[in-house]
């Protein structure tokens, strides 16, 4: 009885294609279209996917995702601020939204309907006789104010600082932790402005969050054992501007600075064994304290 001739193996995904190449992991025949380069030989698509699922994603020194090195959050924040500036200009209908305000010798823009809507404002009577402000329930102002600016120069100064500081911090912290740092620092600065500014004084700008980034990068670089000598002069210069240039919210800048430092301490010094828990519980505690202070201020204004 004669033996049947051996059959040529065919790709397990493409039965019509003959092949003598096998997956080095599962030993199934694979054609050139199904080959995936591996450390040794080739693997099939299923084995490659299974291997990717079993590999832990890279993390930063503080437990964040490695995607932070791409700076997606920083770029998104800048785009959002630019979009809000365009909407602010559009809402002004030919007014002084771009320039012509009182700050920096008139180089900063004036208020617009959009900044009037979203700036930090304790309590005020508007021209139409209505009363508004955070004390009147407009709590959204504590967040929206960090995305609004008085003119293009105001925007450009803050966005340049965000571009320089944000990419470095996002790469070290990861996207989620960096976003939390930015938003909570901005919230802290706006709460400080609400607490310490006149109740009818409106303030806005990303500088509350930016000052938080200044403090955070100093704390984090110290934690990593890196040189911080280049950071201090820039921080000092910004503090000098804060105290000498009229129209700048001193309370907002200092509040952002202190809150950013507190957030950085929580992120950088959380123990490795319980790092995510300590970081997010610490973040929640800081937000709770800020909101409690805002509630206390509201009670004072309404008393």
User: In Å, how far are 4, 5, 7, 8, 86 from 1, measured between CA atoms?
Assistant: 9, 13, 18, 22, 87
pLDDT of residue 99: 62
Can you tell me which residue has the tokens 């007014």?
95
55 Ramachandran zone, left/alpha/beta (phi>0; psi -120 to 50): beta
pLDDT at 246: 67
CB 203 within 8 A of CB 141: no
- Return the pLDDT at 94: 62
Angle CA 202–208–214, to nearest 5: 160
Res 78: pLDDT? 97
Q: What's CA 219's distance to the chain center, in Å?
A: 17
Tokens of 88: 């602010």
Phi/psi of residue 50, nearest 5 degrees = -65, -40
Question: Mind listing the pLDDT tens digit for each residue in 208-255?
Answer: 999 999 999 999 988 888 877 777 777 787 778 777 766 778 899 999
Provide CB contacts within 8 A for 197, sequence distance 6+: 120, 122, 203, 249, 251, 252
**pLDDT at residue 282, as a whole number:** 96
Structure tokens at 205: 């700008």
Domain boundaries, the chain: 1-50, 80-302
Pick the CATH number of 80-302 from 1.10.10.10, 1.10.1740.10, 3.80.30.20, 1.20.1540.10: 1.20.1540.10
SS (H, E, C) the chain: CCCCCCCCCECCCCCCCECCCECCCCCCECCHHHCEECCCCEECHHHHHHHHHHCCCCECCCCCEHHHHHCHHHHHHHHHHHHHHHHHHHHHCCCCCCCCCCHHHHCCCCCCHHHHHHCECCCEECCCCCEECHHHCCCCHHHHHHHCCCCHHHHHHHHHHHHHHHHHHHHHHCHHHHHHHHHHHHHHHHHHHHHHCCCCCCECCCHHHHHHHHHHHHHHHHHCCCCCCCHHHHHHHHHHHHHHCCCCCHHHHHHHHHHHHHHHHHHHHCCHHHHHHHHHHHHHHHHHHHHHHHHHHHHHHHC
183 and 259 in contact (C-beta within 8 Å)?
no
Strand-pair partners of 18: 10
Residues that are catalytic: 207, 253
Give me the tens of pLDDT residue by residue for the chain, a chain 303 residues long: 455 555 778 888 888 888 878 888 888 888 888 888 877 778 888 888 877 776 565 677 777 777 778 899 999 999 999 999 888 888 877 666 666 555 554 556 678 889 889 999 988 877 777 788 899 999 999 999 999 998 788 898 899 999 999 999 999 999 999 999 999 999 999 999 999 988 888 999 999 999 999 999 999 988 888 877 777 777 787 778 777 766 778 899 999 999 999 999 999 999 988 889 999 999 999 999 999 999 999 999 887
Q: Whole-prediction pTM value? A: 0.78
């Amino acid at each position: 009885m004669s033996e049947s001739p051996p059959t040529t193996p065919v790709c397990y995904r493409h039965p019509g294609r003959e092949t003598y190449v096998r997956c080095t992991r599962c030993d199934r025949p694979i054609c050139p279209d199904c080959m995936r380069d591996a450390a040794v030989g080739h693997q099939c698509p299923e084995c490659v996917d299974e291997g990717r699922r079993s590999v832990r994603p890279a993390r930063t020194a503080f437990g964040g995702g490695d995607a932070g090195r791409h700076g997606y959050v920083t770029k998104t924040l800048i785009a959002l601020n630019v979009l809000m500036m365009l909407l602010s200009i559009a809402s002004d209908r030919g007014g002084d939204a771009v320039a012509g305000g009182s700050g920096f010798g008139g180089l900063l823009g004036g208020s617009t309907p959009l900044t009037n809507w979203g700036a930090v404002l304790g309590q005020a009577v508007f021209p139409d006789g209505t009363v508004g402000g955070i004390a009147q329930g407009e709590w959204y102002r504590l967040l929206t104010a960090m995305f609004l600016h008085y003119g293009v120069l105001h925007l450009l100064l803050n966005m340049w600082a965000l571009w320089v500081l944000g990419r470095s911090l996002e790469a070290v912290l990861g996207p989620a932790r960096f976003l939390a740092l930015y938003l909570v620092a901005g919230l802290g600065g706006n709460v400080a402005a609400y607490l310490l500014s006149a109740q009818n004084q409106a303030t806005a700008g990303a500088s509350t969050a930016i000052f938080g980034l200044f403090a955070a990068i100093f704390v984090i670089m110290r934690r990593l054992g890196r040189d911080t000598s280049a950071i201090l002069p820039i921080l000092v210069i910004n503090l000098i501007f804060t105290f000498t240039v009229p129209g700048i919210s001193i309370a907002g800048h200092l509040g952002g600075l202190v809150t950013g430092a507190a957030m950085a301490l929580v992120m950088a010094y959380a123990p490795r064994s319980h790092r995510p828990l300590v970081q997010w519980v610490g973040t929640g505690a800081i937000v709770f304290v800020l909101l409690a202070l805002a509630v206390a201020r509201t009670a004072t204004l309404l008393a």
